[in-house]
């Protein structure tokens, strides 16, 4: 599994790209979350407009989905033909569909078909087994777990680890966990924090990647994590690979 770190930013990141991953295995690509600054980051990669098979949305906060309009609009402009799968919580489809429709307005469709799938009903996506579980967040957020031939990945989306998503997290080889703040938050908070991230029960040999770190907290988390062999604080443009259950940080921009 190739993990292209499109962005790691928090909601109001002054410079960086909103949190998003582009995953690939056996030629199948899925984009996880698409905030407003994600489409330009994809354009910088010169991706073929047909390359991405599916979009997965953890939840409908603007920093995780507002780029959908631009993405659909761009693919229409590029005359994409390949059908697109959009996987999201059914209760949040209406908001996402507003964004998608606006992307091809005033046309009735973007020139390619879009299939909407409820995240809760899916147990496989492309080459991966898939599972979702909720975190503790201010709107319903479904973390995603994917397992392929080479290993498994967990991506929290937003929110504090809950009893629901902790078991998925604990069985992944690479764990992307939202970590808004460098100091401890109340256990009733709606975000992860750095002290909590360090106490999460994880699979032996797994790698923890804290992301979505508030701008004023990033330096502290990076400094603390510098000496930790099983923690990697990703930067946008990083590429990670999973091979036979082992992670590798391949390159960094
Ligand atoms: Zn967010
Ligand atoms: Zn959120």
Which structural domains are found in the chain, ordered by start?
Answer: 2-251 (3.60.15.10)
Give me the sheet containing 28-32, strands edge to edge: 114-118, 84-88, 54-56, 28-32, 20-25, 2-7, 239-243, 246-251
Average pLDDT, the chain: 96
* Residue 149 CA, ligand 2 centroid: distance in Å: 30
pLDDT 10s digits, 179-238: 999 999 998 999 999 999 999 999 999 999 999 999 999 999 999 999 999 999 999 999
Neighbours of ion ligand 2 (CB under 5 A): 61, 158
Region of residue 196 (left: phi > 0; alpha: psi -120 to 50; beta: else): alpha
* Residue 26 CA, ligand 2 centroid: distance in Å: 31
Percent of the chain clearing pLDDT 70 (strictly above): 99
Confidence of residue 250 (pLDDT cuts 50, 70, 90): confident
* Residue 111 CA, ligand 2 centroid: distance in Å: 31
Rounded to whole angstroms, the Cα distance separating 140 from 143 reads: 10
Specify the pLDDT at position 252.
64
The pLDDT of 70-99, averaged and rounded, is: 98
Is the per-residue pLDDT at 115 higher than 70? yes
* Residue 211 CA, ligand 2 centroid: distance in Å: 13
Specify the pLDDT at position 176.
98
Q: How many CA atoms lie within 13 Å of 54's alpha carbon, on the beta-carbon side?
A: 25
Is the per-residue pLDDT at 253 higher than 80? no
The pLDDT of 152-171, averaged and rounded, is: 96
* Residue 152 CA, ligand 2 centroid: distance in Å: 23
* Residue 248 CA, ligand 2 centroid: distance in Å: 28
């Amino acid at each position: 599994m190739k993990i292209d770190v499109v962005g790691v930013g928090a909601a109001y990141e002054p410079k960086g790209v909103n949190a998003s991953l582009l995953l690939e295995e056996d030629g199948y690509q899925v984009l996880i979350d698409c905030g407003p600054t994600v489409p330009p980051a994809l354009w910088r990669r010169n991706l073929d407009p047909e390359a991405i098979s599916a979009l997965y949305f953890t939840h409908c906060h603007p920093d995780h989905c507002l780029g959908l309009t631009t993405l659909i609009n761009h693919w229409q402009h590029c005359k994409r033909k390949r059908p697109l799968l959009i996987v999201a919580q059914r209760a949040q489809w209406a908001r996402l569909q507003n964004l998608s429709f606006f992307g091809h307005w005033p046309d009735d469709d973007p020139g390619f078909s879009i299939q909407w799938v409820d995240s809760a009903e899916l147990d496989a996506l492309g080459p991966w087994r898939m599972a979702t579980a909720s975190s503790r967040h201010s709107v319903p957020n479904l973390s995603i777990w994917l397992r392929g031939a080479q290993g498994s990945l967990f991506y929290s989306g937003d929110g504090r680890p809950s009893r629901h998503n902790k078991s998925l997290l604990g069985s992944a080889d690479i764990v992307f966990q939202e970590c808004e703040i460098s100091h401890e938050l109340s256990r009733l908070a709606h975000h992860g924090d750095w002290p909590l991230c360090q106490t999460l029960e994880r699979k032996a040999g797994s790698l923890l990647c804290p992301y979505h770190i508030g701008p004023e907290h990033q330096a502290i988390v990076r400094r603390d994590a510098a000496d930790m062999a099983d923690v990697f604080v990703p930067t946008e443009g990083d590429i990670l690979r999973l091979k036979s259950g082992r992670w590798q940080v391949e390159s960094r921009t």
